[in-house]
Structure 1
Amino acid sequence: MSVVLRTRKSATSIGTAAVMAPFLCGITIIHFHSAKYLDHEHVRMLGFMTGMLCLTPYPVVSSVLNDLKILNSELGRLGLSSALVSEMFSIFFNVTAALTRTMSKYGVKEALICLAVAVLFVFLVIFAIRPILFWIIKQTPEGSLVNDHCVYCIIIVALLTAYASHVFQFYSILGPYILGLAIPEGPPLGTAIIKKIDTFVNGVFMPIFVTTCAIRVDLTDLFNWRTKNGSIDNFMVQTLVIILVTVSAKFVVCMIHPLWNKMPLNYALSLSLIMSCKGIVEMAAYSLIKDMMEIPDNVFALLMVCMMIISTIMPMLLSLLYDPLKKYAGYTRRNIMDLGRNTELRVLTCIHGDENILSTIKLLEATYPTKEDPICAFVLHLIELIGRASPIFISHQLQKKKNKNDSNSYRSENLLDAFNNFEKEVNDGLTVNTFTAVSPQEMMYDDICTLALDKLTSLIILPFHRKWSSDGNLIELEDESLRELNYRIMERAPCSVGILIEKAQMTHIFSEETPYTVCLLFIGGKDDREALFVAKRMMKNPHVRLTVLRIFAESNRNGDVKDWEGMLDRELLNEIIMIKHKVGEVKYIEKSVKDGPETVLKIRSLVSEYDLVIVGRQAGVESAETCGLLQWSEYPELGVLGDLLASTDAAGKASVFVIQQQRTATDI
């Protein structure tokens, strides 16, 4: 229900036009053209089918967008919101059709009684059932599961409302539909209900339902265009005309509003394709009207075949027209290395749970935000989409007031408090903007990359998928879905990306008595240079002690530079050496190695004494210093050295920050 209330004006306009324009066009064709060839009963059937053809079912659109992995893209969100508006028209249409049928069959008095019962049920849901559901959530401790008995009771109530809807002459789906709008989305209640019924409904009932609907269609009836006396079947012809008119009108009208608002043509076409999708809801509707109105078999076959053709073609065209990844192809350099002096550093930090908050704050504190070198941190709390159909994106700065019934804002409360307190401690040097994104795990990368693109960030900070115990000795959790998410972001990010590996809790207190020790491993390449610029920013922190460990091959002991990359590396290292002579807190160490195994020994003997180790990713790049290590790499998203440091026996309990410089379109 909260999604209904938050629908934007543009989505309302598109959703309304997507229903009204084809409906008016269809009714006009029926009145001025089809009525000449059909009797009154066939005209009534055709009008009813016109209403069915004009709708854009929300479940169908959500399913298509989810299958195409664009559910939480900008276009996907607009399509979902527009379909939701269309769904409101669907409820009105169903209620009106049911009352009309009751009135014609039982009289006006019976129809009014059914309407009064429907209104009373809506009030019962709003003022009795919904408060009870929130009471159940309140009684459930944070992080715990809702009591199974409560879930089973809700499922039983849903079945009873379906039966009551049928008794009072409404369609049986109306009662559960209204009840579903009242159930608070997301955890803990919505998630618990979905987990109980999703497998059984989608894995058992749905295939059975689709099969039973499909076997009612005899494809030979599709070629029956003549009546028993040999004349053209005008009902069949006019049904085809109405199908073509309504589909065309919907497709055209859904393009007008986007084009009027300067949306690119391919985006407008894609939105029209989304709003024109058909699916299982139409299959159910056509089966229903066949039973209720006894439409001929050939007309039913025509409706079903047209539905299947549209449901096959539309998603295929949509996947060809709309590629949300194109917007991430960067031609403008947005990384830390190319930032100007005293320029604000814009960072996007991703938080999956409370365990990521402290480590992220400590890393930002180490980068030393000041009034001269400010940091603007965009903190994104990522929540997996379970127990609701549509993804949401919340900007907590734009919220007028905190909604007590919004479970997503409640789950972000610890994050908001922690970063607000951190912002107050730093004063003028740090600006924090907090967001919450609720989306499917496999599509979270789109929320992250889109926010980074919109906010012009130079760095994205991601938590590692492996979680250690508080003392750093044992691995508590290894989330492969989070690992896949990190890998996708590194492939698509419009800026530089860093993965923060926290082996032990980063509880360090920055002070002169307890300096924060940082080690930068430098072999060479653009990722190492990006890491060096992050380390240089930390070097300004008076409570940070930086060590630059330069590892080079013995074959290059003379320091001969033969390419442009080597010249850039040498220039930056010379700058560090100059700083070393001026500032005593910076150390510069050079170590020569023969091959990869010797590099491993050198690193293990040196880096375990530090609090944080920074290293460039250098994915897939094998040099003399890392020769023989690439094939043993377990986590390619970390690069060779990052993978080494993330292993359980390397780097001690030091945290590790693996950095990849922005991949521009010219790099690909």
Structure 2
Amino acid sequence: MDANQTLFSSVTLLHEVPSLGFEVYNVCVNHPMKIISDGIWTQHGSALPTQYSYTMLELQILIIFVDLRSKFCFSDRVSDGAISSDRTIGKVQEDAVPVRESRHPKHTIIVGVLLLPVPELSADGPKLDHENREKGLGDRALLLWHSHSGGVWEHGRILGEDISALPVVFISHSSCSFAVISWLLNDLGILNSELGRLALSAAFVNDVAGIGAAYFGRQNMSMSIRIRNVTAFLAYAIFILLIGRPAMRWIVKRTPEGRSVNKGYIYAIIVVFLGLGYFAKFFGEPFLVGAVIFGLAVPEGPPLGSALVTQLELFSKWFLCSIFVTCVTMKVDLTKCNSLSFVIVISGVIIMVHLVRWLLCMGICRYCKIPFKDGFCLALILSCKGVVDICSYLLVYDAMVQKRTVVDVMIVSVLVLGTASRFGVKALYDPSRKYAGYQHRNIMSLKHSELRIVACIHKPWHSVHIKNVLEFCSPAPDNTLVAEILHLMELVGRSNPIFIAHKLQQSAASSSYNYSGELIVAFDLFERDYLGAVTANTYTAISPVMFMNEDVCNLALDKNAALIVLPFHVKWGGDGSVESEDSNIRALNARILERAPCSVGILVNRGPSFNSRRIRAAMVFLGGPDDREALCLAKRFVKDVDNSLVVFRLLAHDKDTSNWDHMIDDEAMREISGVHVNLENVRYEEITIGDASQTTFLIKDIANKFDFIVVGRRYGVRSSQTYGLEHWTEYSELGVIGDLLASHDTDTTASVLVVQQQPSHEDHR
């Protein structure tokens, strides 16, 4: 035989037999599989890849990722998750790819799972803006459930040896993993919604208490060993928190602002992390415990937390972790179970556990006056299982605590629960429904003089332009202004979002990092400058870019704001050229325009801040709800006699005076042309427009004559004044007139505020 064609090699032996000569024996010797391939250019170029272990590993990884990406492209559209894709691909490849039977399917691949807690569970990671209702929900659910599971534990031991797995099944399915819940909420896009924050709070309380319950609930351990292990564990945790955390804070202090952490420090932290995980076994804890505690000690956010995420997330989360889950699922084989009734009993216990969990969770939500649908969605979220649960099941199996069949059933349950949670929550929970315009929250509907504005800031230079808009509102004791200033920061290096109300903090020392320090000082000074007329509250929201609109809309809804002011995504230089563009800010503005619970204004700034107290402003009025909302804001501006306003009404040559919307526009203009025109600082002009070219010429003519220009968005509204210009619009979020003023062809240094009136209930999706 040819050794390159088979796993066997042939040896020829000659044996001399008296009077018969020699006898020839062919003996086949079984050789181990070769590691490295000889290559296709050698004399054995026809050898199969399956004859070499390293080539076989590469082939398996390739098949896993081709199948995984193919399914994930489909499953992502139907709200299934990446981990569900991994588990499904594992079952598909169970027979297609050869797998050697082993009790240890993880080995080096499990490092991917163990690296996850470092960037995910960063220091102060559970520092949510907990409300009493969220804490109470987590505590009550935990106490009720563990009292229930404790009774079943005793019952399981009475039933006999055949179902001795019941205690482990009950405990494992009665808890939930904070990392898994965070991953699920991020996949569903509701990480910083009200339900998402509630689920994170309850999951964290349950997760932390579950660790202690599992530790003290161990059997076959004497009290002396238990006390020794607890003492060692506390010493281990204190060492990490008192030595490791200060050391990492020292690294952060040595890193200049805006610079990345030295790679040497990153590598040293990873080595220390692996070493601490190894020493965890000396007091009876698995490697994962060391990873979690060390992750809690890592300072959150940039520069260190974000650097660890950058270094580890791609390799550990999307490479090693995917292979780990797939390989574990490939080994699941329920056909090897000798007793079908045993599988049915374990499955029935899992179903019963989750039914009881749902009833308890929904009952507590009902007691806390949470809607039934939201309570059911919360129960589904807290029932979700993922990669952390798979890892724990594998550790239980390796420790010879459970039979193979029990572990197989629990891994299958992870697939079922993870998929059901995603589909259920996606179908039942719509976070945008609370923003629907059932109530009028706009400037036109204000029944008092106080105006509430939510102003968003991304970059330091945005604060100057936001203050210009607030000054445009002419705050005075009889024309008060409440400004909710929201500093939006991207969530990097931690797993849960943060929302900080800075006036509720006792002092700057109450936070491990003084977020938005310069912003707080700037608007405190602005409030003092307009003492008695302005109330400025500052907030910091740290969340993923895709979900920042939830923070903005929630704040506007809670504060009953009439207007949200958003900075434009383009920054112009001093010479009028575009200095930078931020596509994330543009996408955020589009999402807020679609779902805002009140009116929205996008601030386009192409020049410096106002250099004098006397501001020249213009308002371009074509008609429609957006223009009427912009007009109401402009009328507040002229309450300061030092400011001047010119209202340009562009009338169509073929106007329909019987149109109801046109009649409402005439009524809105009557006050301007009547009462306000008698004021020295107000001027009104009517201009008849024949076609869109005249509109373009007029806009470019007035663009450089004013410091501030207010227009309505009028998106989707077609009229003869702008007919045809819609096809040339570069920035659809600004509408036709706003796009003309922000165009590169328009030479202006004026600030432009594009206003959209609160969308109606029918406009919300």
What is the TM-score normalised by the length of structure 2? 0.80
Q: Is the 8 A contact 2:393 2:410 kept in 1?
A: yes
- The reply on whether 1:31 has 2:154 as its aligned counterpart is yes
Aligned amino acid, residue 528 of structure 1 = D
Deviation (angstroms), 1:58: 0.4
Give distance in 2, aligned partners of 1:580 and 1:264. Answer: 48
Per the alignment, in what secondary structure is the counterpart of residue 80 of structure 1? helix
Q: Secondary structure at the match of 2:287?
A: coil
1:37-116 to 2 correspondence within 5 Å? 37-38=160-161, 43=164, 45-93=165-213, 95-96=215-216, 103=221, 112-116=227-231
Deviates more, 1:432-441 or 1:642-651: 642-651
Moved more, 412-421 or 267-276: 267-276
2:728 is aligned with 1:632: yes
Q: 1:562 aligns with which of 658, 680, 685?
A: 658
Give the CA deviation at 1:121: 1.7
Corresponding position of 1:534: 633
Q: 1:225 aligns with which of 336, 339, 356?
A: 339
The alpha-carbon distance between structure 1 residues 504 and 16, as it changes in their structure 2 partners (threshold 3 A), is same
Counterpart of 2:518 (choices 411, 414, 425) is: 414
Matched, 1:578 2:674: yes
Q: Does the CA contact (< 8 Å) of 1:259 and 1:268 recur in 2?
A: yes
- The structure 1 residue matched to 2:262, chosen from 147, 151, 156, is 147
> Could you tell me which of 474, 477, 483 is aligned with 1:377?
483
Q: Which amino acid aligns with 2:368?
A: N
Q: Find the residue that maps to 2:503 and give its secondary structure.
A: coil
Q: 1:17 Cα deviation (Å)?
A: 4.3
Shift of 1:632: 1.2
Does residue 354 (structure 1) correspond to residue 469 (structure 2)? The answer is no
Output the amino acid matched with 2:611.
Answer: H
Pick aligned residue for 2:615 from 504, 507, 516: 516
> 1:499 aligns to what SS in structure 2?
strand
Residues 560-603 of structure 1: CA deviation (Å, up to 9, x unaligned): 51112111212222322224642232222333322212211121
Q: What is the distance in 2 between the residues matched to 1:197 and 1:33?
A: 42
Is the Cα–Cα contact under 8 Å of residues 138 and 205 in structure 2 kept in the other structure? yes
Structure 1 pair 20–426 and aligned structure 2 pair: CA distance change class (3 A): closer
**Per-residue Cα deviation, 1:253-283 (whole angstroms, up to 9, x for no partner):** 1122211122111111111111111111111
**Counterpart of 2:717 in 1: which secondary structure?**
coil
Which secondary structure does the structure 1 equivalent of 2:461 belong to?
helix
Structure 1 pair 162–32 and aligned structure 2 pair: CA distance change class (3 A): closer
User: 1-side partners of 2:214 and 2:149: how far apart?
Assistant: 18
Query: Which residue number corresponds to residue 166 of structure 1?
Result: 281
Contact 2:515 2:540 in 1 (8 A): no
Tell me, in whole angstroms, the C-alpha distance in 2 between the residues paired with 1:15 and 1:427.
Answer: 43
Give 1:37-436 correspondences, 5 Å limit. 37-38=160-161, 43=164, 45-93=165-213, 95-96=215-216, 103=221, 112-221=227-336, 224-226=338-340, 233=342, 236-293=343-400, 295-340=402-447, 343-403=449-509, 405-407=511-513, 410-436=514-540
Distance 2:147 2:260 in 1: 48
* Alignment RMSD: 2.2
TM-score of the pair, normalised by structure 1: 0.91
CA–CA distance in 2 between the matches of 1:376 and 1:16?
A: 37
* Rounded Cα–Cα distance in structure 2 between residues aligned with 1:378 and 1:472: 32
The answer to whether the 8 A contact 1:29-1:242 is kept is: no
CA distance in 2, matches of 1:9, 1:396: 19
Tell me if structure 2 keeps the 8 A contact 1:18–1:54: no
CA distance in 2, matches of 1:305, 1:80: 25
Which shifted more, 483-492 or 238-247?
238-247
Structure 2 segments unaligned to the other structure (5+ residues): 1-122
Cα distance between partner residues in 1 of 2:662 and 2:132? 55
Match of 1:663 in 2: 759
Distance 1:502 1:139 in 2: 37
Identify the residue that residue 14 of structure 1 maps to in structure 2: 137
- Spell out, residue by residue over 1:200-247, the C-alpha distance to the aligned partner (whole angstroms, 9 max, x if none): 11121111111121111014246x525xxxxx54xx454334313321
What is the one-letter code of the residue matched to 1:599?
A: T
SS of 1:336's equivalent?
coil
Q: Would you say 1:545 and 2:651 are equivalent positions?
A: no
Closer, same or farther: CA 191–370 of 1 in aligned 2, 3 Å: same
Alignment match, 1:492? 595
C-alpha deviation, 1:451, in angstroms: 1.0
SS at match of 1:532: helix
1:59-81 Cα shifts (integer Å, max 9, x gaps)? 11111111111111111101101
How far apart are the structure 2 equivalents of 1:94 and 1:597? 75
Shift of 1:167: 4.6
Alpha carbons 1:25, 1:249 under 8 Å: kept = no
Q: State the distance in 2 between where 1:335 and 1:387 align.
A: 37
Contact 1:553 1:592 in 2 (8 A): yes
More helix by share: 1
Among all aligned residue pairs of Structure 1 and Structure 2, give the percentage whose two residues are the same amino acid. 37
Distance in 2, matches of 1:88 and 1:318, equals: 24
Cα contact 2:703–2:741 (8 A) shared by 1: no
- Residues 1:590 and 1:651: Cα distance change in structure 2 (over 3 Å): farther
- Are the structure 2 counterparts of residues 582 and 5 from structure 1 closer, same or farther at C-alpha, using a change threshold of 3 Å? closer
Residues 23 and 50 in structure 1, CA contact (< 8 A), matched pair in contact too: no
Distance in 1 separating the partners of 2:274 and 2:723: 65
Structure 1 portions without partners, runs of 5+: 227-231
Q: Higher mean Cα deviation, 598-607 or 66-75? A: 598-607
* Contact 1:366–1:541 (8 Å) recurs in 2: no
Q: How many residue pairs end up in the alignment?
A: 641
